[in-house]
Amino acid sequence: MRQDNLIEKVIKYLFERGFTIIRLRKDLVKAVQKTLRISVWFSEKDYLDWYDPLNLIDEFQLGDVQSLIIIAPRAYSIADEVLHSLDRARYWYDLFIDVKIYSVDIAILDKSLEEAVNNIITTFIDLAMNIVKDGGRCPRCLSNMYVLYLWKFNSKILKDKVIEKVYRCPNCGLRIHRTMKIENSREV
């Protein structure tokens, strides 16, 4: 798949998931939902060509986002290099960048991109929440849970229209991410 088609496919998917898209460069996109900010980098190479970690932080605006999604043929090896570079920034410059790195392999783009976005929304639910309503009892501590995120979209994994919910218990902090097919759900 050509990189332009790949980028358009990912932008379309993120837009469907409720993100506002800002195109920063040919190979870099920023996706924003509420106060949650994600950078998505489309790498044609399977290695980093930066030695200085400050260049990497500036290029991807890592000080301004909570997550970086790397989309590449060998995304996991690039993610390791990015994490190593962020460690060097901590040791060399005493600069701590708190960003989560997610790898998306081009060969399984649809599935791994959906899983990455689901993990990001669940991890940063305080930044992405769009609703607050009762969600039943917590299975861990039996306190009341709350639904903090509710969204409808076409799931690439389930190959159907789904409702996505993220629950959180204020007492013990448990987070639950649920995706249900709309036709099997009582809620629409």
DSSP 6-48: HHHHHHHHHHHTT-EEEEEETTEEEEEETTEEEEEEE-SSSS-
Using one digit for the tens of pLDDT, what is the confidence trace for 10-46? 999 999 999 999 999 999 999 999 999 999 999 988 8
Domain that holds residue 44: 3-123
Task: Please indicate, yes or no, whether residues 117 and 135 belong to a single structural domain of this protein.
Answer: no
Mean pLDDT of the region 131-137: 93
Using one digit for the tens of pLDDT, what is the confidence trace for 143-175? 999 999 999 999 999 999 999 999 999 999 999
Residues 6+ apart with CB under 8 A from 103: 69, 70, 72, 75, 76, 78, 79, 112, 116
Task: Please indicate, yes or no, whether residues 113 and 146 belong to a single structural domain of this protein.
Answer: no
- Banded model confidence at residue 49, pLDDT cuts 50, 70, 90: confident
Residue 186 and residue 163 in contact, taking contact as beta carbons nearer than 8 Å: no
Pair of tokens at residue 33: 């939902």
pTM: 0.91
Task: Please indicate, yes or no, whether residues 115 and 133 belong to a single structural domain of this protein.
Answer: no
d(CA 106, CA 27): 14
Structural domain includes residue 188: no
Pair of tokens at residue 92: 């060399």
pLDDT for residue 184: 55
In DSSP terms, 163 is beta-bridged to: 152, 180
Is residue 91 pLDDT above 60, yes or no? yes
Q: Above pLDDT 90, what percent of the chain? A: 87
